[in-house]
């Protein structure tokens, strides 16, 4: 037999009545960082100035990389040549790979 009273479904949301005072927007408190940001005046920055500054930074970085490469190019090429030469000599010296050369 079924019971005379019906229990609400466990996942059902209860019906809540909302008063007009509760429908008003919630006022947020102003935080310390927000207060300091609000007090500051916003300055507009010219996009052309930012673009020129970025272009100068990119060009300076490119110049530094090129100078680094020019300075260390002989050492880089010598290192690569030594690695290839070492690999080749080890392949010749080892009896297992000597016949392939």
**Domain ranges within the chain, ordered by starting residue:** 45-98
3-class secondary-structure state, position 76: helix
pTM score of the predicted model: 0.41
SS3 14: coil
Distance between first and last Cα of the chain = 94
pLDDT tens digits for the chain (101 residues)?
555 556 666 666 656 565 666 656 666 665 555 555 555 555 677 778 877 888 889 999 999 999 999 999 999 999 999 999 999 998 888 888 878 77
For position 47, what pLDDT does the model report? 78
**Do residues 38 and 30 make contact, with C-beta atoms less than 8 angstroms apart?**
yes
Residue 98 has what pLDDT?
A: 78
- CA 99/CA 87 separation, integer angstroms: 15
Contact in structure between 82 and 73 (CB atoms under 8 Å): no
- Check residue 54 and give its pLDDT: 85
- Distances from the Cα of 33 to the Cα of 37, 39, 43, 44, angstroms: 6, 10, 18, 21
The predicted structure's pLDDT at residue 46: 79
């Amino acid at each position: 037999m079924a019971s005379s009273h019906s229990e609400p479904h466990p996942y059902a949301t209860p019906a809540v009545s909302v008063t007009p005072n509760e429908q008003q927007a919630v006022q947020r408190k102003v935080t310390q960082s927000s207060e300091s940001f609000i007090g500051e005046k916003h300055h507009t920055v010219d996009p052309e100035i930012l673009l020129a500054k970025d272009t100068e930074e990119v060009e300076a970085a490119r110049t530094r990389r090129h100078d680094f490469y020019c300075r260390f190019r002989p050492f880089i090429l010598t290192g690569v040549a030594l690695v290839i030469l070492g690999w080749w000599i080890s392949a010749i010296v080892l009896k297992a790979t000597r016949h392939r050369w």
